[in-house]
Amino acid sequence: MENDAWIKEREEITQKKVDRWNNDINVLVSAYSGQLIFLKACLESVRSIGWILLMYDNPSRRFDTHMPTPEMFKLVDQFFMKEPTSEIPGPAYPQFWQFRHGCDILLGSEAPYIFVIGGDSVLEKPEGIVEIVKMLEQEKGDIISCSTRNKIHGKPFVGSKSFLVKKLAFFKMVNFLEKGFVPLDHQYGSFENRMGLAVQETGVKEVKTPENPSHDQFAYDYDSEGNCVNRGTWGKILGYRHLAGEHKIRKIKKQKPIEQKYFDTKHLRKQDLETMVKYWETGDFKYVEKWWET
């Protein structure tokens, strides 16, 4: 009887893993060492959506301090660290390889959708993904992103910070993107421009985001209480926040820092420990003013 109970328990554990892997949505989190400060919060926020694949940029140096922590690894279902690409400056080249490898890995799942998010972002309302899926399906589309081409963007444009895409459409897009990166061709512009071209040239159907953010960094507009606003459809439905952008712009605009719960304090700089952390501990606004000056 004890042996039968042991077998049943193992079967249930295995089935849960299989169900999660083949659920409707696989989550691809694209990250590098500079995002470690927010990565744990990001992973926690998307945990309920589906199987999480963490695609990590090879730091090519201090692996003891530039890798995810054990707490972060416990939040992911699968981890992949790509080959070093630091010889090519800028974020586009490593992002392509994260998408290339990520797409190839997730093709093994039966999940029809992939939700992509950067490791420096967070979803405050992950349950909103159900509504985003409905938007895509109602228009019989293949991809919907956090921001899309409008009069501000002169070239084809699809926001790459976060998007929901049908897996086979993503595979088509990545195959097209590869033509501009292997060998590397600079004429196509930013990664968002390349994503827009991929949609345009492959026949993948984009569902336009109903409301664009006021700025593609999701970080420039604040209300009187210091809350980041005008974040478009992704902000309203998913509670999407680009924490790295806010962290930078809040200081410039002399706003209070992001809430403490989103920071992994192990990765804070010394000057942040002496200013932001002191503010969180004491509530004394003088430390915020000191933070503005650092």
Tell me what pLDDT residue 16 has. 86
Distance in angstroms (rounded) separating the CA atoms of residues 51 and 189: 32
Helix (H), strand (E) at residue 44:
helix 36-46
Nearest CA-CA partner of 251 in 269, 272, 265: 272
283 & 162 share domain: no
Tell me what pLDDT residue 19 has. 87
Tokens representing residue 97 in the block: 């390889």
pLDDT in tens, 115-156: 999 999 999 999 999 999 999 999 999 999 999 987 677 789
272 & 168 share domain: no
Q: How many domains does the chain have?
A: 2
- Is 29 domain-assigned? yes
Residue 1 has pLDDT above 70, yes or no: no
Tell me what pLDDT residue 49 has. 97
Domain boundary among 163, 186, 202: 202
- Is 215 domain-assigned? no
- Is 210 domain-assigned? no
- Is 186 domain-assigned? yes
Domain boundary among 182, 202, 222: 202
Dihedral pair phi/psi, residue 182, rounded to 5°: -130, 95
Distance in angstroms (rounded) separating the CA atoms of residues 229 and 143: 24
Tell me what pLDDT residue 227 has. 94
Edge-to-edge strand list for the sheet holding 113-118:
78-81, 51-56, 25-31, 113-118, 162-166, 143-145
Domain boundary among 180, 202, 224: 202
Tell me what pLDDT residue 193 has. 92
Range of the domain at 240: 232-293
150 & 11 share domain: yes
Cis? peptide before 68, omega within 30° of 0: no
196 & 241 share domain: no
151 & 71 share domain: yes
80 & 176 share domain: yes
**What is the arithmetic mean of pLDDT over 42-53?**
97
- 56, 34 contact by CB (below 8 A): no
Tell me what pLDDT residue 2 has. 61
Of all residues in the chain, the percent with pLDDT exceeding 90 is 79
Domain with residue 24: its CATH number is 3.90.550.10
Ramachandran bin of 63, using left for φ above 0, alpha for ψ from -120 to 50, beta for the remaining angles:
alpha
65 & 151 share domain: yes
247 & 184 share domain: no
Alpha helices in 116-190 (DSSP H): 129-138, 167-181
pLDDT in tens, 280-290: 999 999 999 99
240 & 172 share domain: no
Alpha helices in 150-294 (DSSP H): 167-181, 191-202, 232-238, 243-252, 270-273, 276-282, 286-293
195 & 281 share domain: no
Its pTM stands at 0.94
- 92, 190 contact by CB (below 8 A): yes
pLDDT in tens, 178-229: 988 887 776 677 899 999 999 999 999 999 999 999 999 999 999 999 999 9
Q: How confident is the model at residue 4 (pLDDT cuts 50, 70, 90)?
A: confident
The per-residue pLDDT of the chain, averaged, comes to 93
169 & 276 share domain: no
Distances (CA, A) of 240 to 24, 162, 212: 20, 9, 12
151 & 24 share domain: yes
Of all residues in the chain, the percent with pLDDT exceeding 70 is 98
